[in-house]
Structure 1
Amino acid sequence: MRIAIFHLAFCAMALFAAPASAEQPPAGTYLTSCQDVRMVAGWLNATCQDRSGRWVQATTVPSWCASGNDIANEDGRLVCKSGGVGAAPSTGAFGAERPPAGSYMATCRDIRVSAGWLKATCQDSRGRWVDATTATSWCGPGRDIANNDGRLTCR
């Protein structure tokens, strides 16, 4: 009986223990004016300086930024910029078709919306990254878009 309880407690601790370095923050010019940078469930969180020198909280989802673009600190906000320093903000990921919120964001990357279709690369139960797609209109208000073994589903 004691061994079973110990085994159960050990399994529960292993389930909830996550490696500290599981998600590494992406490179970007924001690193020169931000501190306390960390990744949490797909979100980049940092404390960044604004124009007046104050330190403010800033967040973004790096996968919303197209590959090859820079994540920059713009007056205390984390923004995606095409090219390098001084370039204009990217229009794709932050434009009219912003990805809808949902629990899928914790286990998916390269998230984008195109012509009403939510597209992402999501982890399946084996840890592989697979392409997933669903129509944004299929999941009504108050419902969650989730990653179900590498498939985008509505629940």
Structure 2
Amino acid sequence: MTATHQPQVVFACVRNGGRSVAARLLTEHYAQGRVVALSAGTQPGEHVHPEVAAALEQLGLDTSRERPKHLTREMIAASDLAITLGCGEECPYVPGVTYRDWPVDDPGGQDETTVHRIIADLDARVRDLLGEIAPDLELAPSVTRAR
């Protein structure tokens, strides 16, 4: 990925109500417009999990415009990288797109401590990913370390 190319990443999970939303919002927060981040689900739910929305809001990340979306082949094809978070074989395969699986627990229905632990895990993964795809990007301090 070159300096003139704006990388696009799609984060995919089953319901698009927790992990993928958190990863997308964290990416947008740190990337400062340098990376396009999408999130979608193979079987999108009706809303973002309330416990995830509450935890993200506590970290200063706005979830008010988040609505679960259906993952399409077109979304993946338009992306440089597809990060799967628990949707496994249900995620459409598009040749030429790099796939990575992040084995991250589902925060849906979990207690506050568990949700924050999962978001901290995603935070570290997103920061590492941005260091790889946008190496000259100066990352702001971690939102989860301030907690």
| Same structural fold, with TM-score higher than 0.5 when normalized by the shorter chain | no
**Higher percent of residues as strand:** 1
**Higher percent of residues as helix:** 2
Q: State the TM-score, normalized to the length of structure 2.
A: 0.23
Q: State the TM-score, normalized to the length of structure 1.
A: 0.23
Q: Tell me which structure has the larger Cα radius of gyration.
A: 1
